[in-house]
Structure 1
């Protein structure tokens, strides 16, 4: 009996690996480098999963050189860096694989690999850290070793391996780092490139010069040990300078409006810890928060409104879902290769004044707005105005007084609570009038917080990230957001903004209410403007529109009329939001108390800090001087 058990154990120990190997040999084919290239290209999708763009590095269309066209000293440098026994080993390091498996089982990662294994892993199989991938890697490595001569494997490796800066293969890497073909690489330059292979993004000399030099020294010493260079050549060698990344290769940007979305997604992925190497190697599938219908509506709205306008006008627009902070639509300009105006700092004008209102509500005790509104305003049509009328008539004097009452730093703090992240130094009373710069994206985020009842959600584009094998690398957590101020406070701020829509001559479908605010930034030339904004929200969508120029000069439309917030920006905003209402449906703002049965206006009790004759109401005045 014991003998039978022993025999069974021996058969299991010896036979099981053999069976696994045989099964793997039958099911794992050797993909071509071209097939692998397609799998490595990352894609960005809309929220519904439909494709938006492909993230193709400029080196993605690899320049495949014959082995003879790659200088011998460059080949020797790569062998010295990655596999000094390449021409004598069987194509895989069984000890290294066992070590890597052991690390996987104990929670670690990594393990030594031959060039053949690297070629298989990074080009043919994928870079997923798993036992399944290691299993497939071993099988395909053995197949490749049997099917291809060593020179062919080395040629494939040198033409497809990733070197950073969006460069696949030695030819594009040579252009990326030295702005010349691989045939002209020196020994030192070849050694630098060879040293980058293990960690191309982290060891880029432009990013980590000390690490790059350490790797270069390692490769040069390896060349000396392998008798590929003489001691004199080693002593004379100098660490080579490289061109700046911005002057070399990178990602192939799209020349349309989606190019800015792709750039913003890459930046967000980087902040999440997904670097350029992962994007280049792992064939990521990135699902965004961009709603395809909302994006199409926004782009059409921009094109419709700017058609026939002067060519020097620039525009940006951002829409955000207040419930999540997800960016529903994004337009940074029609040239993806140029400036992303959705993230350019500009003075927001009166679109910043709601944060002065918010500061007054958040002050302890809340500012008595009746004391402010009892003083004559600026150039307005009424002798006495409350904050709602002051916003509607752009009464700058009242908001400057409000900023003085609460303190300019309190206005900045309120804006930060809402979501403004720009640096605002040395604020004075004029900060309430939008003299400090913010971006359209930041302003949309802050307005979304007001729309969400004081709950802040970080604005974001990335929803999920999945690798080519279907492994989820990132999933946006479903969290409730961060409570910044009360729903009553947010509703009271919104109340001050609800008399503006009729002034723009527009109405949203289905009687949808909106809280909005235009902003016009004056020019040095009297009566002219340099920036024009329109911003606002419904309960389910916050959107901001900016129109300006590159030269910060007076804005004129096709009729030669100054561009202001009420005009091109407001028309664009309403065009987009009308579609949003039709798509998403009408949504009611929250009310507190019984409210007026005829108008639906909330009952903001006069005894509260948001009382009817303060934030949301209108002081009783005689005659026709009514707000």
Structure 2
């Protein structure tokens, strides 16, 4: 038995586990734990094999320590790597980038590129302003862009098909981009080429965003936005936007403008052949315009039709019947533009009014608006003709305005602010109205409950002193100890109206003017001078306020825009039938009208057909001057039309006619007013004013107005006509029988007033008396009788 074997009295070597509880020995006794650092003493010699094994194990352990990097020990050489394995790894990375990179880039682009809103994507397009009869007045081309949007249903099916077949065969099936086109674009970009296959959606993105640079970045953005828009809009919506944005040559943007530019017709009238020609030139409109390159245009036309056949949109038989259009225009037709003459002021006034309705300039520029104005083309032409006729040969410094209003609606029928459309709009310029303001004094007096009527008598002597040391004189030194209100209006007696305004209250006069239609934002100074028109107003204000009298006190706000329609058919504004406001009692308004019923005939500007008309002239004296004027007016109306005419200058310097005589209200303004009213009313019913019911003291025959025993006012300048408006026409330099001279105005220089401005020693103290009351002894003449000028100094009426 070997030494240490059980039963022979020898103890065997101790064996322990490195961890865990001691190993139980035979007999139940436990051994202490084994520590790897302890090597049990051997009580016997190891055999050779055991020793060799043990040494081998130790050597292996030592080599392991060396390889693990013991200091000072040589490293074990690394195993050689396989080069193909590195290539495979690179390929895997590249493949991952090729698959994941675009997806990641698309996700990032989706997050950072917003789809343009409707406002941001809005493109400029033509806006059209028209006369009341829909004839063009002004064409607005923002940024000189010719574009008129149309809805898709206005575009013929064959036109849509021709465009889709030519530009994007897969439009209705692709997600918004064409992968082969994108790859072609990338290749061209890398190799220095140009072009690439953009879908209709991508083309729309490019045009609407304004980014048309040739770059991969643009293509990347286009693809992302094309997909986003395709998810938010239908294909038809995208196609409609595309057809309204693309450039098609000849300055035409969009299919409607192109139809006009090439065939002078609306898009809805395009034939298959015409549609194919337009579709064919989309890619290069400047080069494939038939007027520039007919052969290329025909070639592209062929491509468009053939692709329509391929898509099944055109049968071979129908294709065979098509011939290249011959009705295309050598150049686009003239489509108006912004006028530089009097019509520009109409456009300008309309734009101002649109702003008050909440329609902005941006909408005008981008929504293809059609703005219908109230101005009647014929009456505008009549206004221009009247002004040209009367002002021909007159001094160059004179300026003119004319505004005509429909009393029943407030619609502006004619609007002339001057011949230079880019200059000042005189129809909307502030000027003193002079005696044409007197009807508002009467309106205030009639409403004062003091019993004043057209027959009420006042002291009409001249000059008169008023409170505050103010001196007021009548035109031409006219005097009457007792004159009726009717006479005071006809002869424009300054002293009577000044007294009337002071008595009833100047604030009431201002209020009455605002009642009638002088805008509330026009400041009217409540002082004595208001009676003689010293506060500034616009010609359009006077036409509108007098229209209130014409309508028996019913006021309608003047307006120049009747309707606004967007290119897509939306009605942005429709004036419709607007009810008026009874601003002035009917009886008051009718009495004011009656007070002016004789002014036109007295001023020798009555209408040619004898129809009833109420009017008032006005003249404003140049401050510091006794015999010079700076503004002259005539304002008058029938029941259907109210017209104001002003003549003055830019610098408010002396206004004289071609004969060198000062201009008064009944002269040049009166002649223009008469000429226009005769033309505008010719052929219309001879309307009567409503029944006259006097207020207060009724009018009666007034000897101061008409000393003729017959009791009738002579409109022809016969003996006994003492009107200060008589211009002596046909009676100058008589034969000595007592009828040779105008009794008060053979020189044509006096008028019913020269009443706004400060004269010597008092307010409005001009009376032009040195030109009045010429002798009538038959052989003599007035002191300036040779200057009789028939109102305009040129005897051309």
Indicate the residue corresponding to 1:109 in structure 2.
none
Deviation at 1:118, TM superposition (A): 7.1
Indicate the residue corresponding to 1:288 in structure 2.
373
Indicate the residue corresponding to 1:502 in structure 2.
601
Indicate the residue corresponding to 1:4 in structure 2.
none
Indicate the residue corresponding to 1:317 in structure 2.
402
Indicate the residue corresponding to 2:656 in structure 1.
556
Q: Deviation per CA, 1:8-41, whole angstroms, max 9, x where unpaired?
A: xxxxxxxxxxxxxxxxxxxxxxxxxxxx99x931
Equivalent positions of 1:375-390 (< 5 A) are: 376=461, 378=474, 379-390=477-488
Structure 1 121/61 Cα, relative in aligned 2: closer, same or farther at 3 Å?
closer
Structure 2: which 5+ runs fail to align?
1-121, 148-193, 196-205, 247-252, 256-278, 285-335, 463-473, 714-797
Query: Partners of 2:685 and 2:453 in 1: how far apart?
Result: 37
Query: Partners of 1:417 and 1:341 in 2: how far apart?
Result: 24
Which of the residues 578, 584, 591 maps onto 2:678? 578
TM-score (normalizing by structure 1) = 0.63
Which of the residues 634, 645, 657 maps onto 1:534? 634
Structure 1 395/335 Cα, relative in aligned 2: closer, same or farther at 3 Å?
same
Indicate the residue corresponding to 1:188 in structure 2.
none
SS of residue in 2 equivalent to 1:569:
helix
CA RMSD of aligned residues (A): 4.1
Equivalent positions of 1:168-317 (< 5 A) are: 253-317=338-402
Which of the residues 78, 90, 97 maps onto 2:226? 90
Q: Deviation per CA, 1:20-78, whole angstroms, max 9, x where unpaired?
A: xxxxxxxxxxxxxxxx99x931112111222222122354369xxx99xx9xxx9599x
Query: Partners of 2:378 and 2:402 in 1: how far apart?
Result: 15
Indicate the residue corresponding to 2:127 in structure 1.
42
Structure 1 418/87 Cα, relative in aligned 2: closer, same or farther at 3 Å?
same
SS of residue in 2 equivalent to 1:40:
coil
Q: Deviation per CA, 1:345-376, whole angstroms, max 9, x where unpaired?
A: 00000011100000111223454676652563
Indicate the residue corresponding to 1:396 in structure 2.
494
Query: Partners of 2:496 and 2:539 in 1: how far apart?
Result: 25
Query: Partners of 1:324 and 1:91 in 2: how far apart?
Result: 53
Structure 1 388/368 Cα, relative in aligned 2: closer, same or farther at 3 Å?
closer
Aligned 8 A contact 2:501 2:528 in 1: yes
Deviation at 1:93, TM superposition (A): 2.0
Indicate the residue corresponding to 2:795 in structure 1.
none
Deviation at 1:498, TM superposition (A): 1.2
Indicate the residue corresponding to 1:220 in structure 2.
none
Question: Quick check: which one's helix share is greater?
Answer: 1
SS of residue in 1 equivalent to 2:224:
coil
SS of residue in 2 equivalent to 1:314:
strand
Deviation at 1:117, TM superposition (A): 9.3
Which of the residues 417, 430, 435 maps onto 1:332? 417
Indicate the residue corresponding to 2:543 in structure 1.
444
Aligned 8 A contact 1:372 1:401 in 2: no
Query: Partners of 2:372 and 2:432 in 1: how far apart?
Result: 33
Q: Does 1:354 align with 2:439?
A: yes
Q: Deviation per CA, 1:428-472, whole angstroms, max 9, x where unpaired?
A: 011011000000001100011110110111101111112223332
Equivalent positions of 1:509-548 (< 5 A) are: 509-523=608-622, 524-548=624-648
Equivalent positions of 1:120-159 (< 5 A) are: none
Query: Partners of 2:139 and 2:596 in 1: how far apart?
Result: 41
Query: Partners of 1:94 and 1:290 in 2: how far apart?
Result: 45
Structure 1 480/425 Cα, relative in aligned 2: closer, same or farther at 3 Å?
closer
**Which is further off, 371-380 or 471-480?**
371-380
Query: Partners of 2:226 and 2:143 in 1: how far apart?
Result: 34
TM-score (normalizing by structure 2) = 0.50
Structure 1 357/121 Cα, relative in aligned 2: closer, same or farther at 3 Å?
same
SS of residue in 1 equivalent to 2:609:
helix
Which of the residues 509, 527, 530 maps onto 1:411? 509
Structure 1 253/423 Cα, relative in aligned 2: closer, same or farther at 3 Å?
same
Indicate the residue corresponding to 2:587 in structure 1.
488
Deviation at 1:392, TM superposition (A): 2.0
Structure 1: which 5+ runs fail to align?
1-35, 102-112, 127-146, 153-250, 592-601
Question: How many residues are treated as equivalent by the alignment?
Answer: 441
Query: Partners of 2:461 and 2:233 in 1: how far apart?
Result: 81
Aligned 8 A contact 2:607 2:678 in 1: yes
Structure 1 457/276 Cα, relative in aligned 2: closer, same or farther at 3 Å?
same
Structure 1 375/117 Cα, relative in aligned 2: closer, same or farther at 3 Å?
closer
Structure 1 623/316 Cα, relative in aligned 2: closer, same or farther at 3 Å?
closer
Aligned 8 A contact 1:347 1:435 in 2: yes
SS of residue in 2 equivalent to 1:584:
coil
SS of residue in 2 equivalent to 1:304:
helix
Q: Does 1:427 align with 2:513?
A: no
SS of residue in 2 equivalent to 1:562:
coil
SS of residue in 2 equivalent to 1:509:
coil
Structure 1 548/452 Cα, relative in aligned 2: closer, same or farther at 3 Å?
same
Query: Partners of 1:518 and 1:426 in 2: how far apart?
Result: 21
Deviation at 1:579, TM superposition (A): 1.2
